[in-house]
Amino acid sequence: MEKNTYYKYLFLIAALWNLIIGIVFVLVLIVSPNSATLFITALPPSFIWAYSFFFFVFLFGLLFYLTSRNIEKYQKLANIYVVEKFGVFVIFLIYLLLGDIKFIAFSLTIVDLIFGILFLEFSINYK
């Protein structure tokens, strides 16, 4: 597969991942707020933090989609994408170790780590 095609699919798949996660988790929290206990150890008084987080997950999904459509135009955002993906993984790892989230929540960020590595490769090799 040609590198350009590979990168377009990489960003398209990342977009789908983020868009689905962003939408599904917000809808689940709206429909069944208690389901959050599958992922966190205690229910907060408000889900404003979750809605904000998933808004940005969705927003990055839109950016990944735009990048998949025009890599040349959005390639300079790749370093931000790398920081975002590694950052989410590290933050969730810290909160897993602190006991504030459950392993299932952390396990979803392993996908982010993989995308982070692939985005780093893109950032280094794409010209």
Ordered by start, the domain boundaries in the chain are 3-32+44-125
**Rounded distance between C-alpha atoms, residue 19 and residue 5, angstroms:** 21
Which residues 6+ apart lie within 8 Å of 100 measured at CB?
Answer: 40, 41
Which among 69, 82, 92 has a CA at the least distance from the CA of 115? 82
* 24-56 confidence digits (pLDDT tens): 999 999 999 999 999 999 888 999 999 999 999
* 77-89 confidence digits (pLDDT tens): 999 999 999 999 9
> pTM for this one?
0.92
**Rounded distance between C-alpha atoms, residue 59 and residue 87, angstroms:** 16
